[in-house]
Amino acid sequence: MTGRHGEGLEKRLEKGRKEERAKAEAEKLADKQNSARKMLKSSFDVDMISDILGLSIAEIEKLK
């Protein structure tokens, strides 16, 4: 698109895409955290949880 209106539209679309990506990443992290909590309750080793879910040990320790 060309012109001032096209540039504004592109900026708004890009902002919307960034917001959606951020929301998806937050949901993905929340899902991993919920899984980690369940694994902790089932006596999974923290190192194993970290390897499986890709969370840091510090992140998992905060969930205890």
Query: Which DSSP string do the residues of the chain spell out, in sequence order?
Result: --HHHHHHHHHHHHHHHHHHHHHHHHHHHHHHHHHHHHHHHTT--HHHHHHHH---HHHHHHT-
Query: CA-to-CA distance for 21 and 62, rounded, in angstroms?
Result: 25
- Res 7: pLDDT: 84
- Res 36: pLDDT: 98
How is the chain split into domains, by residue range? 3-62
Is 6 a residue whose pLDDT tops 80?
Answer: no
Pair 20, 28: CB distance under 8 Å = no
* pTM assigned to the model: 0.79
Q: 8-55: per-residue pLDDT in tens? A: 899 999 999 999 999 999 999 999 999 999 999 999 999 999 999 999
Is 1 a residue whose pLDDT tops 60?
Answer: no
